[in-house]
């Protein structure tokens, strides 16, 4: 029988493999590629999927399929689901704090980031059934018609999350997109990816239909061109300061007149990191004319 010594007590940790989140499932990337996420000291933290163009296409397909049902849901129900996501995140605070600390965040900063992420979800859950009243209008017209303008969701949104935060930036991008009835594909932080896939586990257990949110991990340089030129994507959100990348996204997005939103100057840790205008940035304004019916041969008075 072999004797256990101090020398062979030392063992390599079996690193967790964090999968991507597509269509409410957790597949491995179709290419089989991965990278090892590390902290600032170079300590290996986990195996992360290196997403490919095929993964993105699958995510867009699932996102488009989910859009009809999600956008048609009652606004208060979308609010209920965002609140449920916040509840589930609250129940797993310790895990997220631990992952943030592993990614070189102090304990105090990690606690603040998780708490802000929970509060941000609750903030947007409250706006789900209010922004249409706040940003819609009844318009004065010269003819005998009612004229209404109301916000409607843009569609499928491809978003590149802030790369300097693991959780808060991701939540701050996803929450207003889905609060407004859109669906999305989000590329998580390459250097700080742990919380993104763990957050996908929260989404998967919180009544959110599969395909509404899809989360990929991988390189911006590889995936950004696909985010910008896919013809079934309606808008692109970009949070980095890279001017060349921004120019490339704007050029490719013009192929099908995508809306491009850049949030490179936002401080997600402040109140400026949340606003109903983040919801309306990804809304189209639909104007409807409705004739005023005649009653007894005379114009109806309203």
Q: What is the pLDDT of residues 165-192, one digit of tens each?
A: 999 999 999 999 999 999 999 999 999 9
Residue 2 lies in a domain: no
Q: What is the pLDDT of residue 209?
A: 97
Q: What is the pLDDT, as a whole number, of residue 3?
A: 55
Please write the tens of the pLDDT for every residue from 63-119: 999 999 999 999 999 999 999 999 999 999 999 999 999 999 999 999 999 999 999
- Is pLDDT at 200 greater than 90 in this prediction? yes
How many structural domains is the chain composed of?
1
Residue 22 is given by DSSP the state B
Q: pLDDT band at residue 196, thresholds of 50, 70 and 90?
A: very high
* Token pair recorded at residue 151: 């916000």
Q: Indicate the burial class of 48 (C-beta count within 10 angstroms; 0-12, 13-18, 19 or more).
A: buried
pLDDT, one tens digit per residue, over 39-74 is: 999 999 999 999 999 999 999 999 999 999 999 999
Give the list of residues 6+ apart from residue 4 with CB closer than 8 angstroms, or none: none
In a domain, 174, yes or no: yes
pLDDT at 296 over 80: no
Alpha helices for the chain (secondary structure H): 6-9, 53-72, 75-91, 93-102, 107-127, 131-135, 168-179, 194-204, 220-229, 243-253, 276-280
pTM of the model: 0.91
**Exposure letters 134-165 (e unless 16+ CB within 10 A, then b):** ebbeeeeeeeeeeeeebbebbbbbbbbbbbeb
Q: Any residues with CB less than 8 A from the CB of 144 and at least 6 apart, and which?
A: 291, 292, 299
Does 116 fall in a domain?
yes
Residue 301 lies in a domain: no
**Nearest in space to 215 (alpha carbons), one of 55, 31, 35, 44:** 55
Q: Does residue 295 register a pLDDT over 60?
A: no
Asked whether residue 55 is assigned to any structural domain, the reply reads yes
CB atoms within 10 A of CB 76: 11
**184 falls within a domain:** yes
Q: Is the pLDDT of residue 297 over 70?
A: no
CATH number for position 167: 3.40.605.10
Q: Is residue 4 part of a domain?
A: no
Is residue 296 in some structural domain? no
- For residue 33, the enclosing domain spans 15-268+276-290
């Amino acid at each position: 029988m072999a004797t256990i010594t101090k020398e062979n007590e030392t063992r390599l940790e079996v690193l967790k493999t964090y999968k991507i989140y597509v269509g409410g499932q957790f597949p491995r990337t179709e290419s089989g590629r991965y990278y090892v996420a590390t902290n600032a000291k170079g300590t290996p933290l986990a195996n992360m999927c290196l997403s490919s163009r095929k993964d993105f296409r699958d995510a867009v397909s699932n996102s488009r399929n989910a859009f009809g049902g999600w956008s048609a849901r009652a606004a208060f129900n979308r609010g209920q689901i965002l609140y449920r996501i916040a509840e589930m995140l609250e129940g797993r605070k310790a895990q997220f704090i631990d992952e943030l600390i592993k990614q070189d965040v102090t304990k105090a900063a990690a606690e603040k980031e998780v708490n802000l992420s929970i509060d941000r979800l609750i903030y947007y859950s409250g706006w789900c059934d209010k922004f249409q009243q706040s940003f819609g209008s009844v318009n004065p017209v010269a003819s005998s018609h009612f004229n209404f303008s109301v916000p409607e969701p843009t569609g499928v949104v491809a978003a590149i999350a802030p790369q300097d935060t693991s959780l808060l930036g991701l939540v701050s991008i996803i929450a207003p997109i889905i609060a407004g009835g859109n669906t999305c594909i989000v590329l998580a932080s390459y250097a700080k990816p742990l919380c993104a896939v763990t957050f996908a586990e929260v989404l998967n257990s919180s009544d959110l239909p599969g395909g509404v949110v899809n989360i990929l991990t991988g390189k911006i340089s590889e995936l950004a061109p696909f985010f910008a030129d896919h013809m079934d994507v309606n808008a692109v959100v970009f949070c980095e300061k890279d001017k060349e990348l921004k120019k490339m996204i704007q050029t490719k997005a013009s192929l099908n007149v995508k809306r491009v939103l850049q949030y490179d100057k936002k401080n997600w840790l402040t109140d400026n990191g949340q606003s109903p205008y983040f919801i309306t940035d990804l809304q189209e304004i639909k104007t409807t004319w409705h004739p005023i019916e005649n009653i007894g041969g005379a114009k109806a008075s309203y």
